[in-house]
């Protein structure tokens, strides 16, 4: 018989081997799935200003919203414990994290993780931080603030019971239940390390002057709806493999472009160094700007989805949701918005290469919900008690550019074809974020929006559909069967076994249609010939991608 201690030791040996095996497999997958990138030609050139376009952050407090403008804006100054790999030789989306502010970690038990942080990191030299050292107490403060009531980032920390300071450079995370994705989740775009003294002085981190972190760039100028300029942090702790101070750039200027035509004109005239492109724009650039490198990703930004109040009629009836799914003309949507190319998405996207389950591999019983079938959709609505359809409200926004609003209009037409009259209400961007994106504040209707720049099973499945109130469970899902499957998913370290559970969850969600996904085409980015060492990777608001690029002008 094994002693109790030996059994525990064996358990962790197995878990450790599983993690090593998963890491090795993921590394191999990275090597064969790297996204085409801008070449790194010659030695880095130091200095210069990178010019890109973006939005003005409505505020600088990352716990207030999932807003891409906020998360992007603060990422220049704030670091995370772990980071995703960026650069020319890295894949578009990686399920492997790399230590950033962290130096290393180990799993003490299935519910406790010990994280050691670097001892050479300083806060930016602005009052009240004044360049003091970054310590374990700072990690505890930031994580507890991320988990505080009302925090938009709290969904990723649902199971965190407490964080303990072990010594000046070590913290222990204690979870309520095993979570095989926990360390990966600490690399999420909104898990920033924020300064305690600044919060104590200002009460929150909304004002521009509160943006003081440990990151590679410091906020220099903030001109709302015009531009935001971030300058190099001279005390940044990272150096390249030859000991040169990072970042190479002196500045990053984020210009606000009023519309796509304006930003495209800026790109054509060399006023910005890289820009995302839609399918028609990339065709035009290939023909008219041969020196520009076109990079391609598996998907264009985040897939579009419907989410709705599944805890209230009419959307609480599964037949209504299934009818809505069968109203979508997938090929027409791809023809209109993606040049006819693309794939059916959801609930995990093509960017999650390790775990995405193609629709054609799912049972025929759920494949039917991804095919246009107006008669069957009307039959389902009749069986649900809506023989003449019903009226509802569908919220979206034009504040992210015209394309999302145009896509919402097409989605509205799909619903109308089966008898659902969805009044389209386009909200101001900030109202949109606070009403339709953060939680379930949109009333009894439904939303057409973006699924978010989320590319892993924990955040896309567990955080979004686990049956507890949180900012990401926007459809108010409360499904005990699904909860049990999700618990099993995060508790499983064996990669093959976990993949099987995730497949089962994708099939189950295909039947339930708590969120309804639209097809999505590939994404493109144009890169000016002078921008070097840039990799086209996934991630929302990650300024870390600019730390190792340079300008060869």
Judged on CB neighbours under 10 Å (0-12, 13-18, 19+), 387 is exposed
Mean pLDDT of 277-290: 93
In this predicted model, what pLDDT tens digit does every residue of 179-226 receive, in sequence order? 999 998 898 888 999 999 999 999 999 999 999 999 999 999 999 999
> Is residue 285 a contact partner of residue 526, using CB atoms and an 8 Å limit?
yes
Q: With pLDDT > 70 as the criterion, what percentage of the chain qualifies?
A: 91
Q: Which two tokens stand for residue 369?
A: 């919900």
Question: 1-15, 35-49, 483-497 — which is least confidently predicted?
Answer: 1-15
Mean pLDDT of 40-49: 85
pLDDT band for 17, please (50, 70, 90 cuts).
very low
Residue 132 CA neighbour count, 13 Å, CB half: 12
In this predicted structure, the answer to whether residue 28 has a pLDDT above a threshold of 60 is no
Q: Who has greater pLDDT, 25 or 370?
A: 370
Closest alpha carbon to 351 in 450, 454, 451, 449: 454
Judged on CB neighbours under 10 Å (0-12, 13-18, 19+), 507 is middle
pTM score, whole prediction: 0.86
- Give 258's contacts (C-beta < 8 A, 6+ positions apart): none
Q: Who has greater pLDDT, 299 or 183?
A: 183
In this predicted structure, the answer to whether residue 19 has a pLDDT above a threshold of 70 is no
Q: Which two tokens stand for residue 99?
A: 């230590």
In this predicted model, what pLDDT tens digit does every residue of 339-379 receive, in sequence order? 898 888 889 888 788 899 999 999 999 999 999 999 999 99
Q: Which two tokens stand for residue 56?
A: 């003005």
91 vs 87: CA distance, rounded Å: 9
Instruction: Supply the DSSP symbol for 112.
Output: E
Cα angle: 365, vertex 366, 368; to 5 degrees: 85
What SS3 state is found at 524? strand
pLDDT of residue 456: 81
Give the residue ranges of DSSP H helices in 203-303.
260-268, 279-288
What is the residue-averaged pLDDT of the chain?
A: 88
Instruction: Supply the DSSP symbol for 456.
Output: S
pLDDT band for 9, please (50, 70, 90 cuts).
very low
pLDDT of residue 451: 84
In this predicted structure, the answer to whether residue 511 has a pLDDT above a threshold of 80 is yes
**Mind giving me the DSSP string for 129-181?**
TTTPBP-HHHHHHHHHHHTSTT-TTGGGGTTEEEEEEEETTEEEEEESS--TT
The two beta strands, 170-175 and 112-117, are antiparallel
pLDDT of residue 541: 58
pLDDT of residue 41: 55
pLDDT of residue 8: 33
Mean pLDDT of 379-393: 98
pLDDT of residue 354: 84
Instruction: Supply the DSSP symbol for 44.
Output: P
207 vs 61: CA distance, rounded Å: 8
In this predicted model, what pLDDT tens digit does every residue of 514-551 receive, in sequence order? 999 999 988 899 999 999 999 888 765 579 999 999 99
pLDDT of residue 454: 62
Question: 22-36, 248-262, 374-388 — which is least confidently predicted?
Answer: 22-36
> Is residue 57 a contact partner of residue 228, using CB atoms and an 8 Å limit?
yes
pLDDT of residue 222: 97
| Multiple choice CATH, 304-517, 3.10.105.10, 3.40.920.10, 3.30.200.20, 3.30.70.20 | 3.10.105.10
Mean pLDDT of 423-439: 87
pLDDT of residue 453: 60
| Multiple choice CATH, 36-257+523-551, 3.10.450.50, 3.40.190.10, 3.50.50.60, 3.60.20.10 | 3.40.190.10
**Mind giving me the DSSP string for 286-330?**
HHH-TTSEEEEESSSSSPEEEEE-TTSTTTTSHHHHHHHHTT--H
């Amino acid at each position: 018989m094994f002693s109790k201690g030996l059994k525990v030791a064996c358990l962790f040996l197995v878990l450790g081997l599983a993690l090593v095996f998963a890491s090795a497999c993921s590394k191999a997958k990275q090597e064969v799935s790297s996204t085409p990138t801008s070449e790194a030609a010659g030695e880095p050139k130091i200095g210069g200003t990178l010019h890109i376009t973006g939005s003005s952050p409505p505020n600088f407090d990352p716990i207030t919203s999932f807003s891409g403008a906020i998360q992007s804006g603060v990422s220049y100054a704030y670091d995370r414990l772990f980071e995703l790999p960026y650069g020319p030789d890295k894949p578009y989306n990686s399920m492997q994290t790399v230590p950033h502010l962290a130096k290393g970690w180990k799993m003490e038990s299935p519910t406790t993780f010990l994280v050691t942080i670097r001892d050479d990191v300083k806060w930016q030299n602005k009052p009240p931080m004044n360049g003091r050292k970054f310590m374990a107490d700072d990690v505890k403060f930031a994580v507890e603030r991320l988990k505080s009531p009302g925090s938009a980032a709290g969904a990723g920390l649902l199971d965190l019971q407490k964080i303990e300071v072990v010594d000046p450079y070590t913290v222990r995370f204690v979870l309520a239940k095993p979570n095989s994705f926990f360390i990966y989740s600490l690399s999420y775009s909104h898990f920033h390390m924020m300064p305690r003294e600044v919060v104590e002085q200002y009460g929150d981190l909304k004002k521009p002057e509160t943006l003081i972190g440990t990151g590679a760039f410091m906020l220099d100028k903030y001109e709302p709806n015009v531009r935001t300029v971030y300058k190099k942090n001279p005390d940044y702790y990272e150096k390249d493999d030859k000991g040169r101070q990072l970042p190479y750039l002196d500045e990053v200027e984020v210009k606000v472009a009023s519309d796509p035509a304006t930003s495209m004109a800026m790109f054509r005239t060399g006023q910005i160094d890289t820009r995302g492109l839609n399918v028609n724009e990339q065709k035009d650039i290939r023909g008219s700007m041969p020196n520009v490198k076109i990079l391609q990703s598996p998907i264009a930004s985040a897939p579009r989805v419907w989410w709705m109040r599944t805890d209230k009629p009419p959307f609480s009836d599964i037949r209504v949701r299934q009818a809505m799914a069968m109203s979508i003309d997938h090929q027409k949507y791809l023809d209109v918005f993606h040049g006819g190319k693309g794939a059916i998405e959801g609930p995990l996207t093509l960017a999650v290469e390790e775990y995405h389950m193609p629709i054609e591999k799912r049972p025929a019983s759920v494949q039917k919900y991804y095919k246009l079938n107006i008669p069957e959709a009307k039959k389902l609505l009749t069986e649900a008690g809506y023989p003449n359809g019903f009226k509802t409200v569908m919220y979206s926004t034009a504040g992210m550019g015209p394309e999302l609003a145009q896509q919402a209009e097409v989605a509205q037409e799909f619903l109308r074809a089966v008898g659902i009259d969805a009044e389209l209400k386009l909200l101001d961007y900030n109202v949109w974020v606070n009403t339709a994106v953060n939680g379930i504040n949109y009333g009894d209707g439904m939303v057409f929006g973006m699924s978010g720049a989320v590319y892993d099973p924990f955040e896309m499945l567990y955080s979004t559909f686990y049956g507890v109130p949180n900012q990401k469970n926007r459809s108010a899902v409360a499904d005990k069967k699904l909860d049990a499957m999700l618990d099993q998913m995060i508790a499983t370290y064996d990669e093959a076994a976990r993949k099987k559970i995730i497949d089962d969850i994708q099939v189950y969600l295909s039947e339930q249609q708590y969120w309804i996904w639209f097809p999505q085409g590939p994404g493109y980015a144009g890169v000016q010939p002078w921008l070097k060492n840039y990799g086209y990777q996934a991630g929302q608001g990650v300024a870390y991608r600019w730390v190792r690029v340079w300008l060869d002008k």
